[in-house]
Structure 1
Amino acid sequence: MTENRSFLQRRFGQLIKEGNEASGRMRKSEEGESMKAIVYKEPNVLTYEEVPEVMPKANEVKLRVKACGICGSDVHGYLGITGRRLPPMIMGHEFAGEIVETGENVKERRRGERVAVYPVDFCGKCEMCKKGDVHLCLDKRAFGVLDVDGAFAEYICVPEKCCFPINDEIPYGIGSLVEPLAVAYRGVAHAKELKGKTVLLVGTGTIGLLALACVKMKQAAKIIVSDLSDSRLRIAREMGADITINPGKEDFKARILEETDGLGVDVAIEAVGAAATVQQAMSALKFAGTAIWIGNNKPMIEINMQEIVTRELVVHGSFLYGYEEFKTVVELLNGDKINVAPLISAEISLEEAPGYFEQLAHAPGNLIKVVVVG
């Protein structure tokens, strides 16, 4: 049926690992068919080229990729600054598509079905999987990360268990936002009940704006958004922000006190991950307020510990999302419960992707979420 072509090294000098076979790229059809893909060759080099067409194994489905978002982590991988993309490989982990073929033992999914994809193939057997934390699986394979090929290609094969049907009326571009929306949803969930509360969101990148959509859905009494970009603040207002603040143009702390009767906000969500924005979020909290850190940009930041101790502030970190959270987000989109459409800045072809990676890396301008559509 199929044959193994080759295997990629997981890290420099490490043993060759057969796990990449399951991503599908290294398995071609008997007819030798090919497909188009964007291949990450080395830092700052992406090529649009033909690669062997993938074929599904047992328990897998083959998708025609209809939409795949360019994540900030993909851009950092393109620049070669994270160590999380090992060339040569195909990036892309925010994707949705149409099932065109099913492998042996596939029972629930069918051809023609439209699905969003949970981009982590988990073992289901390790300690973390048994606890339900499959996103922390000790033997996981994340599509489009390290050496596991992702969805910046015409086709990809993924486990049936990773596919979640999306309604016909949902554009594929919106379907590709399920992955980053799940990140934001998990972060906001740490705040628990928000009805009647004042919430600050710092940072209006993709995750920050998706967190805004989640906060809006949870009926916060007042939503304040802070960012240095007026164009992104306009999008925040379009998505439901009550108050927007550009700290580069006005006194941030004074405005916060003005909007909260001098008390500060109940919850501050930080979606950048830099010292200045973390400090901004913490300074805006009322006594015993809660900060949620979703941003993951700098490994080390400077923070006023005495302020946290003496004002009894709560800090909650949030990382990725679980299987059930991903499922919940799909249900929210299918039920038209959350609005994320304003985030998509451009829909482009696969062939245009290398140029947009360069732009996003060096001169993104007003671009927020760029989605490759097919």
Structure 2
Amino acid sequence: MKAAVLTKVKKIEYKDVKVPQIGEDDVLIKVSETGICGSDLSTYQGTHPYKKPPIILGHEVCGFVDDLGGNVKDLNKGDKVCVESYSACEECIYCQDDKPNLCLDKKVAVSGDWQGSFAEYFKAPRNSVYKLSQNVSDSEGALIEPLAVALHALGLSNSIKGKNIAILGTGNIGLCSLICAQKLDAKEILCSDISNSKSKLAKKFGVDYFVDVSKDNLVNYVRNIFKDGVDTTIVAADYPSAIDEATEITKRAGEIITVSYFEKKLEAQWNKIVRKEITLKGSAVSCKKDFLTIIKWLETKEIDPTPMISHRFPLEKAGKAMKQMIKNSGKIILYP
């Protein structure tokens, strides 16, 4: 099969590789569309903590079942599917507590022998695969994983309904957080970023306020609108002052939920967090219930995330797509 292989930092080669060999509990998927994630970009740039070349990137994927392991009885060849980015052991204390995202022995896509979806075929364990109806488009299917990640983060909040929300960063997860926060009936939503193009994307999804931080001071902007601050701040950007700014704009007894990874250790205003009784939470990937909720919303046409897609590239142009991603574009989709 053909695949876009990251052979070294910032170098992708379109080349022939072997079709993944599936085990008894695996599913072989013929890739239809696959999205580029921020973790793909950091791996491409050589800054990811453990994903290193040579490697096939990609885990946001929609496709069709091509082959099944002997133990997989509840899927059929030709079924449309999407895939979660990890496979939980289903046995550890966290799996038993319905927190598979915290599994002590989980396998992660784009690591080890679980190569990525920037290829014609993609292997995944059955417990990571979700069947989709034909009512869900291939493009929507490729967006389910980041939407589930965003929904999981919002689900860690005490409540989103009727609350004022700030989202720092309008990359893929930030935009997905905006979509989900609206669906969960947030009162008013403010987004911030440094790109005018991101402002246009956020406005497509009906954001109430957008702060271009290259022109306006985020803290002053928020205080002018929300006085004491917002109820919940979602950190979906990895710039050094993100947690400090979130602390400043979040109201007393509010909450900060960070879904972003940071390449460097951060200083935080711990005394201010204590004085304001702010709850600070991390959010790790997603769980089954998040996937099932997003799939339901898509099947019933309650959300339409596809306007966030700004570019589409054939798989052989994956290197060009990565360079476009660096320009802070919207969602980029690859197709074989």
Cα deviation for residue 342 of structure 1 reads: 1.8
Distance change >3 Å, CA 173–CA 302, structure 1 → 2: same
Is the counterpart of residue 297 in structure 1 residue 262 in structure 2? yes
Give the superposition deviation at 1:297: 2.2
Q: What residue is the counterpart of 2:202 in the other structure? A: 236
Q: CA deviation at 1:126?
A: 2.9
Report the equivalent of 2:221. Answer: 255
Distance 1:36 1:137 in 2: 33
5 Å-filtered alignment, 1:152-191, equals: 152-191=118-157
* Partner Cα separation in structure 2 for residue 157 and residue 278 of structure 1: 37
Q: In the aligned structure 1, how far is the partner of 2:162 from the partner of 2:146?
A: 26
197, 213, 220: which one pairs with 2:163?
197
Cα distance change on mapping 1:128 and 1:221 into 2, 3 Å: closer
1:309 to 270, 274, 285: 274
Summarize the Cα distance change of 1:285–1:149 in structure 2 as closer, same or farther, 3 Å threshold: same
1:270 matched to 2:232: no
Q: Does 1:101 align with 2:63?
A: no
Partner of 1:320: 285
- The aligned counterpart of 2:48 is 82
Question: In structure 1, how many angstroms separate the alpha carbons of the residues matched to 2:45 and 2:236?
Answer: 21
TM-score (norm 2): 0.93
Give the CA deviation at 1:147: 5.1
Structure 1 or 2, whichever has the larger Rg, is 1
Flag the 1:313–1:105 CA change in 2: closer, same or farther, 3 A. closer
- In structure 2, the CA distance between the partners of 1:335 and 1:200, relative to structure 1 (3 Å rule), is same
Q: Percent identity?
A: 31
Note the C-alpha offset of 1:117. Answer: 0.9
What is the 5 A alignment of 1:1-374? 35-146=1-112, 148-260=114-226, 262-360=227-325, 364-374=326-336
Going from structure 1 to structure 2, the CA distance change for 1:120 and 1:219 (only over 3 Å counts) comes to same
> Which secondary structure state, in structure 2, belongs to the residue aligned with residue 295 of structure 1?
coil
> Do the aligned residues in 1 keep the contact of 2:201 with 2:330 (CA within 8 Å)?
no
- Structure ranking higher on relative contact order (CA contacts 8 Å, 6+ apart): 2
CA distance change for structure 1 residues 125 and 279 in 2, over 3 Å: closer, same or farther?
same
Alignment check: 8 A CA contact 1:274 1:298 kept: no
> Aligned pair in 2 of structure 1 residues 365, 273: CA closer, same or farther (>3 Å)?
closer
* Cα displacement (A) at 1:55: 4.3
Aligned equivalents of 2:82, 2:308: Cα separation in 1:
18
Offset, 1:87: 3.2
User: Structure 1 residues 140, 313: closer, same or farther in 2, change over 3 A?
Assistant: closer
Q: Separation in 2 of the partners of 1:165 and 1:236?
A: 30
Deviation string 1:265-301 (CA, Å, 9 cap, x unpaired) is: 1111111133322222221122212111122123421
TM-score (norm 1): 0.84
From the superposition, tell whether residues 148 and 105 of structure 1 become closer, same or farther in structure 2 (CA, over 3 Å). Answer: closer
Tell me if structure 1 keeps the 8 A contact 2:63–2:80.
yes
Output the CA distance in 1 between the equivalents of 2:56 and 2:220. Answer: 47
Q: Deviations over 1:311-360 (max 9, x none)?
A: 22221221211233223222222222223112111121111112222343
Q: Does the C-alpha gap of structure 1 residues 236 and 348 become closer, same or farther in structure 2, counting only changes over 3 Å? A: same
Q: Distance in 1 between matches of 2:160 and 2:92?
A: 35
For structure 1, list consecutive stretches of 5 or more residues without a partner in the other structure. 1-34
Distance 1:254 1:131 in 2: 42
Q: 2:230 touches 2:251 (CA, 8 Å); kept in 1?
A: yes
Whole-angstrom distance in 1 between the partners of 2:104 and 2:25: 21
Report the number of matched residues: 336
User: Does the 8 A contact of 1:269 with 1:291 survive in 2?
Assistant: yes
Q: In structure 2, what residue type is equivalent to 1:104?
A: G
Distance 2:147 2:248 in 1: 26
Contact 2:56 2:117 in 1 (8 A): yes
Moved more, 299-308 or 70-79: 299-308
Structure 2: 5+ residue stretches without partners: none
